[in-house]
A and B are shown apart, each in its own frame.
Chain A
Amino acid sequence: MADSSNTDGSKRRFLWILGGLGFGWLSAGIYPVYKYLSPQAIPDPFGEDGRALVERVTSAEVIKPGMGKNGAYGGHGLIVFRNQNGILKAFDSKCTHAGCNVEFQRDKIFCHCHGGTYNLEGKNIAGPPPRPLTELGVLEEDGLLYVYRLGKKKGDEVRA
């Protein structure tokens, strides 16, 4: 009897060690797989000088009040337009509701997905959007447009 319980004990110990090793083996595998699947760090769309080139829209396309267009900057979508006072405005085009791209429509900014509406200051005025659009600073240089993050960096480090 003593013999068999001894065998049982060593068998159990063996299974515990096996289980522990197996668990360690699996956990060691999980981390690299998790890192492999995790998105890589997203580069800042604004370069070293704090600004990003606007693609698909040139300053000629927004030369007159009421002109506006969808474009891109650093892998993101944006809208650029010139308002009735002749001031260039730019907003990230991602609707704050469900992430569709909004459209500039002369007197308002509109999202076709769910009818979200913003005024030309980017403020949500109708439909489901919970927040205003993210505004970007715009500047023109040699017929090209650039955007920069508004807020702390505004104007100081970035000059036209």
Chain B
Amino acid sequence: MTYYSILPDAESRLHDHSKLFGKVSRYILRRYPVWPMIDHLANKVVPVHKHSVWYNIGGIALFFFSVQIITGVLLMIYYRPGLPWDSIQRIVMEVPFGNMIRSIHHWSANLMVFTLFVHMFSTFFMKAYRRPREFTWLVGAVLMGMTLIFGFSGYLLPWDDLSFFATRVGMSEIEKAPLIGMWLADIVRGGSDVTIDTIGRFYVLHVMVLPLLTLAAIGVHLFFIQVQGVSEPDSFASLPESRKRYRKYFTEFIFAEIPVWLFLGVLLVALSAAFPRELMPEADPFSSAPEGIKPEWYFLAQYQLLKFFPGKLEMVGLILLLLLPLGILVVPFIDRAIPANSRGRLVNRIGIIALLGLIVYTLWGWLS
């Protein structure tokens, strides 16, 4: 057999032989018989209801991630892990558009974290984590965790005053973890203190290890969604079939998202122009710490909470902090009823408290 034959179903739906698109499609399908996959994707639909907007958030996070890859690769061209601060200074002061690319990387990172929080909580409140989507949710949780490590590791790389001491403080929190804390902190830092050796580790983590793992996890996350389709909230699932409305995923849904991406791209440039990322003086590991050392906003809630547990009570605070990720990991296996029962409603209420707590503590940490 020289070529694969084109399935009758495909033949009837492809463009005409004479058209360019028809020719290209047949050229490909004769070599790669992927019609069943294309057919599956072409039939994928997205429910239309008043909560539909939340289906777009994951795509927005993916947009920011793409921006991170592009700007990150560009920054790597001039960044030198052996001369961290000088090379960033050069990017900011000398390289054309360097300051803009660095600032876009900064803003896109922050918006990506924010978007992921929105994505996670909207998925949570729509109860999309229930069977059969438990593992889509868990892979999403892993992606969230990796994004936070992305943020923490990237923060140190400019090696300015702020990033140095903020990382030192962050590492001292890891040190306090029971049993393995010290060992883990030493392995991560490459010593008992944050030094230039730490940059090498954080750099490799930030530009190599995490991107590879994240890309793989995104692939799995999206594959699950393509296979299963998006989740329908209970209010939609209980409608009679005749009243359910759907939109085609390709191309209606995807195309509707493109203007949003274009807008966000412009927003990133505008934010970077209006609020470029500052570069503080080079880190001096021996001088006294500058004022106003605070972690990035997405660690502020934890940071603020830990303040209430000084000294020996710190362990209690750390255990309290672990409740949120633990809850995220177990919720698909605790709250399983479709439609939601009383336990499902309780889980929702706990979620609301967690969300409010996160917001209040973040603002509190930000203002104090």
Q: Which residues of A contact B (CB under 8 A)?
A: 37-40, 42, 55-56, 70-72, 75-79, 93, 95, 97-103, 111-114, 128, 130
Contacts and interface: CB of A to CB of B under 8 A. Distances in A.
A56 B289 contact: no
A130 B286 contact: no
Contact of B289 (A38, A39, A112): A112
Interface string B168-179: 110111000000
A39 B187 contact: yes
B189 to A, nearest CB: 7
B285 interface: yes
Interface in B299-321: 307, 310-312
Interface in B263-308: 285-293, 307
B189 A99 contact: no
Given A98-B169, A112-B293, A39 B189 contact: yes
Contacts of A71: 286
Nearest to B192: A42
**10 A-B pairs with least C-beta separation:** A103-B288, A100-B289, A72-B286, A77-B286, A99-B172, A98-B169, A39-B191, A130-B311, A98-B172, A113-B293
A72 B288 CA distance: 11
15 contacts: A38-B186, A39-B191, A39-B197, A40-B191, A55-B286, A72-B286, A76-B286, A95-B289, A98-B168, A98-B172, A100-B293, A101-B288, A112-B292, A112-B293, A130-B310
A70 B287 contact: yes
A39 B192 CA distance: 8
Nearest to B290: A112
A71 B190 CA distance: 23
Given A39-B190, A70-B286, A71-B286, A112 B173 contact: no
B311 to A, nearest CB: 4
A99 B169 CA distance: 6
A130 B186 CA distance: 21
A120 B286 CA distance: 19
A102 B187 contact: no
B311 A101 contact: no
A74 B311 CA distance: 29
Given A128-B310, A130-B310, A98 B173 contact: yes
Contacts of B159: none
Given A77-B287, A112-B293, 18 more contacts: A39-B187, A39-B190, A39-B197, A40-B191, A55-B286, A70-B288, A76-B286, A77-B285, A98-B168, A98-B172, A100-B168, A100-B169, A100-B288, A101-B288, A111-B289, A112-B289, A112-B292, A130-B310
Contacts of B293: 100, 112-113
Contacts of A70: 286-288
A61 to B, nearest CB: 14
B310 to A, nearest CB: 5
